[in-house]
């Protein structure tokens, strides 16, 4: 019987999570096939990650591109079904909570292929988030659930998941961060962008912040109040700029929109900042390890461990400026708690679980 393990990736957050798992399984001699669905498809959103992180070039690129949630998920499912029929994998590994993740979970489960969910059990309990739906469906179908935090284990237990399926392994994205820590050159990116003095990084893309015109106007006002205190740098894809520009987002001398950056450049930018304003999930984790104050502009987070064991706090548009003022009034912390098992060895623990499940 084939012992082929197929990794399904598709969007920018997947790649730093997959890199240490691919490397650890390669060290154990496991036959692997890396699939890139093409959900994120331009250079700064996908290809540059493979080059910078030393990830092997994908064996298969499905090239599904963008589209509505339904169209994109359906396109990935159709292509993966054909691929799985042809290659007959012994196991499928999926990452995170993007549309490619749930698509692979649905196809693998219907075809009777064992599959593993890396980053299982995260919950925001906010069903307006497409990612929350993806997480719930993927975890319900998973044969092996690999968690990054103790709270994720508890969520799965509360949902009635078989404890034998759950493995607390730590966070493979932090493996990638720690491995590349010396390559995050804050001064180089500061020089490249001609940044002087304190600056704040922002990453904003959630529907709750940028879809509704009224929300966008409120966001613009809140971010202008932040820019009154320090320069704000926000990497933003050109396709996502129009609505913010129409609402006057750039009508502030200290609001700086730049194109998306590669992984190393973005992490260098974050490392040198005084704070990050974000609605992203992964950034909450990265700032937790880097010791950068993180202000998460959301009513909830599926990563509460970044608050209890890190530098993250939830904020609103109404109190954002005041929270930034508090951060700027004090020095960056010299020490801070970090979550258990976020130690750079999650990939190895994941490989141990996978090889045990695969058997001889």
The one catalytic residue among 36, 69, 117, 205: 205
Q: How many Å apart are CA 261 and CA 241, to the nearest integer?
A: 15
Question: In which element (H, E) is residue 304 found?
Answer: none
Q: How many Å apart are CA 99 and CA 73, to the nearest integer?
A: 6
Query: What single DSSP character describes residue 98?
Result: S
Note if 252 is an active site residue: no
Contact between 12 and 37 under an 8 Å Cβ cutoff? The reply is no
Contact between 270 and 288 under an 8 Å Cβ cutoff? The reply is no
Q: How many Å apart are CA 301 and CA 149, to the nearest integer?
A: 13
Residue whose C-alpha is closest to residue 130's, from 180, 69, 89: 69
Write down the residue that tokens 């709750």 correspond to.
Answer: 208
Contact between 115 and 91 under an 8 Å Cβ cutoff? The reply is yes
Q: How many Å apart are CA 331 and CA 271, to the nearest integer?
A: 14
Q: How many Å apart are CA 263 and CA 251, to the nearest integer?
A: 28
Contact between 188 and 268 under an 8 Å Cβ cutoff? The reply is yes
Q: How many Å apart are CA 253 and CA 276, to the nearest integer?
A: 19
CA atoms within 13 A on the CB side of 356: 10
Q: How many Å apart are CA 346 and CA 107, to the nearest integer?
A: 26
Provide the annotated active-site residues.
205
């Amino acid at each position: 019987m084939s012992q082929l393990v197929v990794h399904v990736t598709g969007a920018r957050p997947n790649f730093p999570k997959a890199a240490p798992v691919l490397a650890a399984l390669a060290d154990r001699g496991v036959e692997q096939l890396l699939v890139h669905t093409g959900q994120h498809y331009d250079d700064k959103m996908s290809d540059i990650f493979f080059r910078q992180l030393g990830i092997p070039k994908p064996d298969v690129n499905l090239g599904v591109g963008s589209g509505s949630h339904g169209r994109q998920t359906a396109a990935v499912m159709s292509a993966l079904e054909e691929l799985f029929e042809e290659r007959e994998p012994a196991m499928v590994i999926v990452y995170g909570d993007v549309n490619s993740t749930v698509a692979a979970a649905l196809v693998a489960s219907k075809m009777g292929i064992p599959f593993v969910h890396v980053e299982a059990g995260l919950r925001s309990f906010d069903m307006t988030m497409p990612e929350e739906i993806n997480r719930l469906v993927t975890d319900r179908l998973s044969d092996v659930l690999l968690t990054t935090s103790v709270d994720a284990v508890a969520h799965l237990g509360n949902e009635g998941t078989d404890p034998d399926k759950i493995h607390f392994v730590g966070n493979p994205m932090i493996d990638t961060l720690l491995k590349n820590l010396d390559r995050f050159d804050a001064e180089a990116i500061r020089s490249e962008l001609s940044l002087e003095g304190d600056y704040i990084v922002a990453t904003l893309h959630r529907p709750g912040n940028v879809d509704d015109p009224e929300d966008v106007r409120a966001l613009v006002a809140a971010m202008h109040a932040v820019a009154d205190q320090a320069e704000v740098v926000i990497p933003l894809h050109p396709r996502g700029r129009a609505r913010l520009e129409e609402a006057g987002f750039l009508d502030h001398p200290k609001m700086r929109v730049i194109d998306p950056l590669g992984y190393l450049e973005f992490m260098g930018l974050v490392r040198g900042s005084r704070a990050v304003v974000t609605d992203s999930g992964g950034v909450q984790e990265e700032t937790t390890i880097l010791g950068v104050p993180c202000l998460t502009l959301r009513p909830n987070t599926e990563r509460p461990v970044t608050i209890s064991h890190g530098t993250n706090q939830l904020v609103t548009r109404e109190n954002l400026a005041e929270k930034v003022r508090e951060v700027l009034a004090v020095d960056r912390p010299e020490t801070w708690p970090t979550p258990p098992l976020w130690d750079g060895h999650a990939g190895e623990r994941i490989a141990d679980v996978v090889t045990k499940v695969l058997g001889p």
